[in-house]
């Protein structure tokens, strides 16, 4: 009986060891498979902060961020992700090639300047004449309460040079605002995106124009009748604005630069909205006075 017990214990031990061996082997196989798949489909980063994505992941990022940004146009992170996911394989290369074909664009790609509150010396820009590009830019920042330090870093574009092109476009966006005079109201942002789409062909800018559907009826009518025609006309006829070396234009007359680029400022959206508010206030006050006179007459 003791022999039988020992044989049973040995068999159990062998069985347990075999199970452990199988479990270890299976885990190792899964790990090898996981490592093999990830190593084949996800290459190492090409630059600091780069997040390589598979084709399926890029498609999921584009669809998800696009739908969510339409729902909430104020989510700059979603708009940035959608821009990067949809810029390849063609559109960002087209913009990069436009820079390579232009002498100033080539210098920008070689120098790779960044636009931040420290690189531009904002106090100096405030001391420039009112008609200078730099003064126009910083006055727009101050009026709208915007900082050049809020632009997200590019993460999902694989080519390092193309990633810089997207970063440059992103950081120049406020200069485009200042050049056109469009404010950061949703109506102004949609108008500027339509202008950028006509000039750069980046899919995100064209997709953003659909946010016009979320405008108030009066804003939507104004956009369709005034700002959309302006954006398409000026964006198509203007030179490639990505090739403007803004850091070298700061002391130049802004009207002269607009003429050189072929950009005609649109009607002042802030002034239009202010006049509409004053008109609504006036009509409301008149209605209240009429109502007061009617009640007095009834007494």
Structure confidence by residue, pLDDT tens digits, 70-116 = 776 667 788 889 999 999 889 999 999 999 999 999 999 999 999 99
* pLDDT surpassing 80 at residue 163: yes
Please provide the distance, in angstroms rounded to a whole number, between the alpha carbons at the two ends of the chain.
Answer: 117
Q: Are 121 and 134 in contact (CB under 8 A)?
A: no
Whole-number pLDDT of residue 6: 41
Instruction: Give Cβ neighbours of residue 44 (< 8 Å, ≥ 6 apart).
Output: 52
With H, G, I as helix, E, B as strand and everything else as coil, classify residue 132: strand
* pLDDT surpassing 70 at residue 198: yes
CA count, 13 A, side-chain hemisphere, 258: 19
- 159 marked as binding residue: no
Averaged pLDDT for residues 105-131 = 96
Tens digit of pLDDT for each residue in 224-274? 999 999 999 999 999 999 999 999 999 999 999 999 999 999 999 988 888
- 77 marked as binding residue: no
Q: Are 211 and 70 in contact (CB under 8 A)?
A: yes
CA distance 173 to 297: 58
Give, in order, the Cα–Cα distances in Å from 281 to each of 167, 187, 268, 275, 286. Answer: 43, 21, 20, 10, 9
With H, G, I as helix, E, B as strand and everything else as coil, classify residue 240: coil
Averaged pLDDT for residues 181-205 = 94
Stated pTM of the model: 0.80
CA distance 226 to 232: 11
Residue 128 has which token pair? 């420039």
C-alpha torsion angle, residues 111, 115, 116, 117 (rounded to 10):
110
Whole-number pLDDT of residue 88: 86
Strands (E), 93-208: none
Whole-number pLDDT of residue 294: 67
Whole-number pLDDT of residue 283: 85
Rounded to the nearest integer, the mean pLDDT of the chain is 84
Least confident of 37-46, 121-130, 157-166: 37-46
Q: Are 235 and 198 in contact (CB under 8 A)?
A: yes
Burial-class residue 149 by CB neighbours within 10 Å (0-12, 13-18, 19+).
exposed
Q: pLDDT tier at 290 (50, 70, 90 boundaries)?
A: confident
For residue 223, how far is the Cα from the chain centroid?
A: 21
Q: pLDDT tier at 278 (50, 70, 90 boundaries)?
A: confident
- 174 marked as binding residue: yes
- 173 marked as binding residue: yes
Residue 11 has which token pair? 């068999």
With H, G, I as helix, E, B as strand and everything else as coil, classify residue 9: helix
| Residue 79 or 180, more confident | 180
């Amino acid at each position: 009986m003791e022999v039988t017990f020992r044989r049973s214990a040995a068999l159990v031990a062998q069985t347990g060891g075999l199970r452990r061996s199988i479990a270890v082997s299976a885990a190792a196989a899964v790990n090898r498979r996981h490592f093999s798949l990830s190593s084949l489909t996800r290459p190492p980063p090409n630059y600091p902060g780069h997040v390589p994505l598979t084709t399926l992941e890029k498609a999921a990022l584009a669809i998800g961020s696009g739908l969510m940004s339409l729902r909430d146009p104020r989510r700059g992170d979603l708009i940035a992700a959608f821009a990067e996911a949809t810029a390849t394989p063609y559109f960002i290369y087209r913009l990069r090639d436009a820079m390579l074909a232009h002498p100033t664009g080539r210098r920008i790609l070689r120098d790779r300047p960044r636009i931040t509150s420290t690189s531009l010396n904002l106090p100096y820009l405030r001391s420039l004449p009112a008609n200078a590009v730099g003064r126009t830019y910083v006055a727009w920042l101050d009026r709208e309460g915007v900082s050049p330090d809020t632009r997200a870093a590019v993460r999902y574009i694989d080519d390092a040079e193309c990633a810089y092109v997207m970063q440059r476009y992103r950081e120049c966006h406020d200069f485009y605002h200042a050049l056109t005079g469009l404010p950061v109201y949703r109506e102004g942002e949609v108008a500027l995106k339509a202008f950028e789409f006509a000039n750069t062909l980046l899919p995100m800018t064209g997709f953003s124009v659909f946010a016009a559907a979320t405008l108030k009826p009066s804003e939507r009518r104004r956009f369709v009748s005034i700002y959309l025609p302006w954006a398409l006309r000026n964006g198509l006829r203007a030179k490639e604005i990505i090739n403007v070396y803004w850091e070298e234009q700061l002391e130049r007359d802004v009207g002269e630069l607009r003429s050189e680029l072929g950009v005609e400022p649109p009607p002042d959206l802030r002034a239009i909205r202010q006049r509409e508010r004053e008109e609504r206030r006036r009509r409301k006050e008149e209605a209240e006075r009429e109502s007061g006179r009617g009640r007095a007459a009834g007494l």
